Amino acid sequence: MAFQQVTIVGTGLIGGSLGLAFKQHDLAARVVGCDRADVLDEARRLGAIDSGQTELKPACAGSDLIVLALPVGGIIDSIGRLADAVTENVLVTDVGSTKREICGAAMKVWGEKAAERFLPGHPMAGKAESGIANASAELFRGAPWLFTPLSQPLAPKASAFLSAIEQIGARPMMCDAAEHDRTCAYVSHLPQMLATALANVVDEMANTQPPAEQLAGAGLRSMTRLAASPYAMWRDIALTNADNLADAILKMEQKLAHLRENLKSPELRAEFERAQAARAMLK
């Protein structure tokens, strides 16, 4: 067993999927969940946790691994509340979508012990539909799991966690927290903002005949799928990565203006050909 007792704080889509995967691969003797009582009931019923606790500190008591699987604001809040509760031989890790503010909070709370106590992480896995009901032990298979360690080499518990997530199919990658936040603004946060914006632009058209929603094809549907994502998670991402995300959105505005000004020029061909080549790289 990699870990004796794991506490997963937040047993929604990510936390619940991690619980299912850890149990399926026998990576922990016992998995404790911390969430609302009704979510914990569902997580236990699905086999994602062995037991649940609605209060943070009791949920973490006696665990050698604590996974904070909350929106970024909740992670920062939990780090503050767990400050004294995390002793030697306990590793705290998180799954937050932005990393600079989380790393800053950990360093403020744990000082020179921060690198030993806390491994900042971000699994690049998800679904438009959140919640424990959509959890799956296979969610992380093939997905990058980024880490922005506070120092290297990693502490032994942190290395054990990397090895555990490799066993559930994830691909650990190391990077700098600032680099992480900038890259994710483009590859993850910008697509979300585009889907939200497009759904609203189409919705705000004056009444059309036939109604626009009856004409939605596969293209519009795939381009707005992310608009179903929960706001609570995105509010924290926007708050903690506003600088990078504003840059990315502005670049997109400029690119759209360029296309708009070249609808009848050969430059449109060049943009399409570059995009086809770039898209082929993403497959």
> Rule CB under 8 A: which of 195-254 touch a second copy?
195-205, 208-210, 212-229, 231, 234-235, 238-239, 242, 245-246, 248-253
d(CA 199, CA 67): 34
The reply on whether position 255 binds a second copy by CB under 8 A is yes
Among 102, 125, 132, 154, binds a second copy (CB under 8 A): 125
d(CA 3, CA 23): 11
Whether 146 contacts 175, CB under 8 Å: yes
**What distance in Å separates the CA atoms of residue 115 and residue 272, rounded to the nearest whole number?**
45
Q: Would you give the binding string for a second copy spanning residues 161-200, x where CB under 8 A is met? A: ------------x-xx--x--xxx-xxx-xxxxxxxxxxx
Provide, rounded to whole angstroms, the least separation between the CB of residue 149 and a second copy: 14
For residue 155, give the DSSP letter. P
Q: Which one of 83, 107, 124, 160 is in contact with a second copy (CB under 8 A)?
A: 124
Residue 146 interacts with a second copy (CB under 8 A): yes or no = yes
Q: Which is nearer to a second copy, 112 or 279 (CB)?
A: 279
Q: Which is nearer to a second copy, 166 or 273 (CB)?
A: 273
Is 113 near a second copy (CB under 8 A)?
A: no
**Closer residue to a second copy (CB): 160 or 223:** 223
In the complex, what is the shortest distance from the CB of residue 154 to a second copy, in angstroms, rounded to a whole number? 17
CA dist., res. 6 & res. 205, Å (int): 50
In the complex with a second copy, which residue's Cβ is closer, 165 or 248? 248
Question: Which lies closer to a second copy via its Cβ, residue 153 or residue 210?
Answer: 210
How do beta strands 118-119 and 121-123 pair?
unpaired
Distance CA 256, CA 262 (A): 10
CB of 71 to a second copy, least distance (A): 13
SS3 content of the chain, % helix, strand, coil (to 5): 55, 15, 30
| Shortest CB 275 distance to a second copy, Å | 4
Site size with a second copy, rule: CB under 8 A: 90
Q: How far is the CB of 215 from a second copy (least distance, A)?
A: 5
Query: Tokens 């590859």, residue?
Result: 187
Structure tokens at 128: 């438009």
| Three-state DSSP class for residue 170 | coil
Residue number, 113 or 127, with CB nearest to a second copy: 127
- Residue pair 139/94 in contact (Cβ under 8 Å)? The answer is no
Which tokens belong to 73? 């604001």
Q: CB of residue 162 vs a second copy: minimum separation in angstroms? A: 15
Nearer to a second copy, 108 or 251 (CB): 251
Query: Is-contact 72 97, C-beta < 8 A?
Result: yes
Site for a second copy in 46-105 (CB under 8 A): none
Q: How far is the CB of 210 from a second copy (least distance, A)?
A: 5
Question: Applying CB under 8 A, does 37 fall inside the site for a second copy?
Answer: no
Instruction: For Cα atoms 139, 24, 173, give the angle at the middle one, nearest 5 degrees.
Output: 45
- List of residues 6+ apart from 197 with CB closer than 8 A: none
Asked if the peptide bond before residue 191 counts as cis, ω within 30 degrees of 0, the response is no
